[in-house]
Amino acid sequence: MTTNISPDTASRTARAYWLAAPGQGELRDEPLREPDAGDVRVCTLYSGISRGTESRVFRGEIPRSEHERMRAPFQAGAFPGPVKYGYSSVGIVEAGDPALKGRVVFCLYPHQDRYVVPAAAVHPVPADVPAGRAVLAANLETAINGLWDATPLVGERIAVVGAGVVGLLVAALAARIPGCEVEVIDVDDGRQRTAHAFGAAFAAPSRARPGADRVFHCSGSPAGLNTALGIAGPEATVVEMSWFGTQPVPLTLGEAFHSQRLTLRSSQVGRLPATQTPRWDTRRRLALALTLLSDARFDLLLGKDTPFAALPARMAELAAPGCRALCERVIYPAAEPTAVTKEPNP
């Protein structure tokens, strides 16, 4: 990929999205340092909004006990604000490490039009993965980790409660396991077509098939978690992939939870399962996610594009109750056809 934005004339100022205080987002200018040896400067094309987590950040729903554990890799500031938060950026390396210059890369960086990071922090995007689709890499990492935590077996019946981005990614991967029957459960019938495209069945909660071998809960709703517990078969595992922040979660544990001897297990992308740590690290996991994104069906998970300048207003809309958007993508000026000529990574 080449760009007509010359590193020699690039601005020494970056523009970033900040949450000034809960419910109040804004764009701020900040100094952009020159890359040191071993650094790269990235000109952003797209960033992805992880709506569930970023909405809780926007509303100030991060428990005090999690303020440090919830920090993103290049976060600035602190919860509840002012804070610069986000972790799904795709751009072009325009300066720094010669081996990466001109490459399209993914980085766990907040919403910002240019930034300087160590070269080891960026991940080249495969040639067969469009830059705009690569914003899904962080969510796909979460889905991969969830499957590792659940250890599904060939031929099992798998239920996924919640047809958001993570839930549909889990379903898409689970449907590739030989012999597995995957059912996606959601209150929104409009997600049925996408579930079918990934090889999964679809049902409303009231019609979900009981007796699942593995259940993934991804709805972000206490009602969804109770649905997950209700459809799990005897001795089954329910993997909790939603994160509730400060929201209380009442559970109907007086029903089938004990008599069915169910296991409720958390999954969190910040740590690899113990079974994987002898051979895997987060860099290898992210490389796997980027490779899997060669499947064009994942474009079904991309929502509307929001111009970077409009991000503060759009983030407020995404954080509003009842919003059902999938992966919203922020588009930066450098991604406009007049600014970039796209060529595949070598």
pLDDT one-digit tens code per residue, 202-252: 999 999 999 999 999 999 999 999 999 999 999 999 999 998 888 888 888
pLDDT at 244: 86
> Residue 18: helix, strand or coil by DSSP?
strand
pLDDT at 243: 87
pLDDT at 11: 58
List of the chain residues with pLDDT < 50: 1-9, 338-346
Tens digit of each residue's pLDDT (9 = 90 or more) over 301-344: 998 899 999 999 999 999 998 888 899 999 999 997 544 433 33
CA triplet 270, 271, 272: central angle to 5 degrees?
130
- Other Cβ atoms less than 10 A from the Cβ of 221: the count is 17
Q: Which residues make Cβ contacts (< 8 Å) with residue 195, sequence separation at least 6?
A: 163, 168, 171, 184, 186, 201, 202
Domains of the chain with bracketed CATH: 2-133+293-341 (3.90.180.10), 139-266 (3.40.50.720)
Query: Of the candidates 247, 239, 107, which has an alpha carbon nearest to the alpha carbon of residue 166?
Result: 239
Query: Of the candidates 337, 340, 316, which has an alpha carbon nearest to the alpha carbon of residue 328?
Result: 316
In the structure encoding, which two tokens stand for residue 199, read together? 């090889």
CB contact at 8 A, 2 and 341: yes
* Reported pTM: 0.91
Cα separation of 205 and 292, whole Å? 29
pLDDT at 324: 84
